[in-house]
């Protein structure tokens, strides 16, 4: 461990300036050289700096640090393998041990794994706090730690729907992983890239990175990730009307999900079977799969109500307005009760698009829905709204207004 890094990290942690730490010990330029490894200071100066920082370092510390680092790695592996019992056990031990660590490399590694732990536990406020702490000492991170930092930070901003920021972070992580030849051991950045490109409707990029990730997951027999990656492929094949390719991946995913008895993934797979048949205009068959998907989903989750939205669209195509209104009202009540703004706006948009000839429906779409889906970047909803408004105004011979909405569709496709 480089002593300069330890001094720099603990000075920043204590909120001390170089002037404050150097006072009575050495000059400010000399301290700067120590922190940046441009000189080797005497034992006396190092001892005085350590004393002012309230830290110490002995051979026993080195042994303890080595054991703590091994424990942090075990914690990380438990998170990656989704071993719930081991995650909690190693986390509690790491939390106790890190209190006595002054080595910034180990402290930063702990914080990086803790970010991943927060993402796993969906503790997003604490996750952002850790990200901001590491932003302050980013220059101390090793290449591997920078890879983890950019990747995990990318996942955080993906959850927060800041997708263009996500791509910048993930591409940095990808470049570092290639530099240090990490991809063989940690291909997850490919999966996260494919997920982000899929959300952005960059279909070719989404398929490319999903295929690369899938090759690694198949090698490792990681069935859960294999299913998740195939679902990305399925969605994008359906977008391209490549229904045969989508069906092959659906059937394969279903076999694996049944093998590992994963209810959540079975629900997602049956939902996408429904989506496939919905896009093929086989609405009765789509409804069979959508309703089966609900059997595997919890009514208290937005995933359940996302399937309901597609059920609504299938009932509209079948002109079954009674069932449409039944599920719509149930969904709106539930979304309002749980303060699910995203679900509420999606449901209201589906209803308004169905009644687009009414003034109040168009007013909602143009003055509320579009602004909401722009802010919470949702290209599929924006494309649907722009298309329907463009068609409506074209039929009304309002060609300028119609053209404005059609142009917005092109703008989304270029993002």
Please say if the pLDDT value at position 146 is more than 90: yes
- Alpha carbon of 174 to those of 84, 142, 182, 309, 402: distances in Å? 28, 15, 9, 35, 42
Q: What is the CA radius of gyration of the chain?
A: 27
CB atoms within 10 A of CB 260: 11
Tens-digit pLDDT profile for residues 158-212: 998 888 789 999 999 999 988 888 766 678 999 999 999 998 889 999 999 999 9
Alpha-carbon torsion 377, 378, 383, 388, what sign?
A: negative
Cα 234 from Cα 102, distance rounded (Å):
48
pLDDT at position 398, please?
Answer: 95
Tens-digit pLDDT profile for residues 26-36: 898 898 888 88
Residue ranges covered by each domain of the chain: 3-57, 262-339, 346-415
Please determine, looking at this structure, whether the domain spanning 3-57 carries the CATH number 3.40.50.12780. no
pLDDT at position 69, please?
Answer: 92
Structure-block tokens of residue 406: 């059609």
Which letter does DSSP use for residue 261 in this model? T
Q: Which residue has the higher pLDDT, 385 or 375?
A: 385
Please say if the pLDDT value at position 59 is more than 50: no
pLDDT at position 413, please?
Answer: 59
Q: Which residue has the higher pLDDT, 322 or 57?
A: 322
DSSP string covering 113-130: HHHHHHHHHT-HHHHHHH
Tens-digit pLDDT profile for residues 359-369: 999 999 999 99
Cα 141 from Cα 406, distance rounded (Å):
47
- Mean pLDDT on 99-121: 92
pLDDT at position 230, please?
Answer: 97
The runs of H, that is alpha helices, within 240-301 are 243-260, 263-279, 283-295
3-57 and 262-339 share one fold: no
Burial of 394 (0-12, 13-18, 19+ CB in 10 A): middle
Mean pLDDT score of the chain: 91
- Mean pLDDT on 134-163: 91
Task: Report the first-to-last Cα separation within the chain, whole angstroms.
Answer: 45
Model-wide pTM > 0.85: no
CA-CA-CA-CA dihedral for 110, 111, 112, 116, to nearest 10: 100
pLDDT at position 51, please?
Answer: 85
Please determine, looking at this structure, whether the domain spanning 262-339 carries the CATH number 1.25.40.10. yes
For the chain, helix, strand, coil in percent to 5 are: 80, 0, 20
Tens-digit pLDDT profile for residues 303-356: 899 999 999 999 999 999 999 999 999 999 989 998 899 999 999 999 999 999
The helix (H) or strand (E) run that includes residue 414 is helix 399-414
CA-CA-CA-CA dihedral for 29, 34, 36, 38, to nearest 10: 90
Please say if the pLDDT value at position 111 is more than 90: yes
Judge whether 145 and 112 are in contact, CB under 8 Å: yes
- For the chain, give the percent of residues with pLDDT over 70: 97
């Amino acid at each position: 461990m480089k002593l300069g890094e330890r001094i720099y990290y603990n000075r920043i942690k204590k909120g001390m300036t170089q002037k404050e730490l150097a006072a009575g010990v050495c000059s400010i330029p000399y301290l700067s050289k120590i922190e940046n490894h441009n000189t080797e200071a005497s034992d006396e100066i190092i001892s005085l700096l350590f004393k002012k920082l309230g830290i110490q370092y002995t051979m026993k510390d080195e042994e303890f640090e080595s054991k703590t680092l091994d424990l942090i790695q075990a914690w990380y592996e438990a998170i990656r393998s989704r071993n719930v019992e081991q995650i909690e056990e190693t986390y509690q031990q790491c939390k106790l041990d890190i209190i006595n660590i002054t080595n910034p490399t180990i402290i930063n590694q702990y914080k990086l794994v803790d970010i991943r732990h927060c993402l796993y536990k969906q503790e997003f406020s604490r996750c952002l706090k850790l990200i901001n702490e590491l932003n302050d000492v980013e220059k101390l991170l090793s290449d591997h730690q920078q890879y983890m930092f950019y990747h995990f930070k990318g996942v955080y901003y993906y959850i927060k729907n800041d997708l263009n920021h996500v791509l910048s972070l993930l591409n940095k992580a990808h470049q570092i992983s290639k530099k240090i030849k990490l991809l063989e051991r940690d291909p997850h950045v490919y999966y996260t890239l494919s997920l982000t490109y899929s959300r952005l409707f960059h279909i070719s990029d989404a398929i490319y990175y999903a295929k690369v990730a899938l090759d690694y997951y198949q090698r490792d027999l990681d069935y859960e990730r294999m299913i998740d990656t195939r679902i990305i492929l399925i969605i994008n094949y359906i977008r391209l009307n490549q229904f045969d390719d989508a069906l092959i991946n659906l059937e394969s995913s279903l076999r694996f999900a049944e093998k590992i008895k994963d209810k959540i993934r079975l629900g997602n797979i049956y939902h996408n079977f429904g989506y496939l048949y919905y896009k093929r205009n086989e609405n009765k068959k789509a409804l069979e799969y959508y309703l089966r998907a609900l059997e595997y989903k919890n009514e208290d989750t937005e995933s359940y109500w996302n399937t309901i939205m597609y059920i609504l669209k299938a009932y509209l195509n079948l002109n079954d307005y009674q069932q449409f209104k039944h599920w719509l009202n149930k969904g709106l009540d539930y979304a309002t009760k749980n303060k699910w703004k995203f679900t509420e706006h999606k449901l209201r948009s589906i209803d308004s698009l169905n009644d687009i000839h009414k003034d109040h429906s168009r007013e909602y779409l143009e003055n509320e829905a579009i602004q909401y889906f722009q802010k919470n970047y949702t290209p599929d909803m924006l494309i649907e709204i722009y298309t329907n408004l463009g068609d409506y105004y074209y039929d009304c011979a309002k060609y300028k207004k119609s053209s404005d909405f059609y142009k917005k569709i092109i703008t989304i496709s270029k993002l």
